[in-house]
Amino acid sequence: MCGRFTLTVHPEELMEQFSLDLFPDEFQFRYNIAPTQPILTAVQKEGKRRAGYIHWGLVPSWVKEPKNWKPLINARSETVHEKASFKHLLNKRRCIIFADSFYEWKKSKDGHKIPYRIFLKSKKPFAFAGLWDRNHSNRHPITCTILTTKANHIIQEVHDRMPVIFTDEVAIQKWLNVEEHPFDELTSLMAPIESEWMEKYVVSSIVNNTRNDNEKCIEPIV
């Protein structure tokens, strides 16, 4: 799964790497992004790619009482086409979510959970595959979820799931171009990213508390 991540990249780099036409003014580095918070995403319409903030935790349009609904932070890519909460979004409301690392927790023999930071060896930012929806009854009308897939080798040592990650423009273009690329044609994009491209290290348990959002969250524990 994916329940926490970071974004510590300057807007100029994000705009260039992801060919963004619009970028929000309100941007700051984040070291411990958590569910229900606004996260930086991008959608594409009529060839224009614009970034903005959407709250993390999908509340489908058909939910009548959002306060009684548990926001969906992840969606399994293998079964997303079967689920009422997601299947109506696959061919019209796809987005990407920007990150430069994410956290996962490994259970130790004594029952404690050890947090790891996972990132690309290149140190470059990447995009999670996402879906978004609009519910006018919700406090935050526009919400999103992150698609997941089976873990690659490096992450299997920590957890059996990982987010679907895009690193190249071809994959991103296909994912965002809902007019020309139906989801049925994109199932190959749901594969785990190559293990050889990734690194991980143990970080402090301060990331367990969502109120901690500073550089200490990403410092390695030696």
Catalytic site residues? 2, 104
If you search the block for the tokens 């809902």, which residue do you land on?
178
Backbone angles phi and psi of 203, in degrees to 5: -120, 175
Phi-psi sector, 111: left (phi>0), alpha (psi -120 to 50), beta: left
Helices (H), the chain: 11-17, 153-156, 169-176
CA distances from 58 to 131, 189, 192, 203, 219 (A): 8, 21, 22, 28, 30
Are 145 and 72 in contact by the 8 Å Cβ rule? The answer is: yes
> How far, in Å, CA of 54 to CA of 93, rounded?
13
Are 86 and 80 in contact by the 8 Å Cβ rule? The answer is: yes
**DSSP state letter for 141:** S
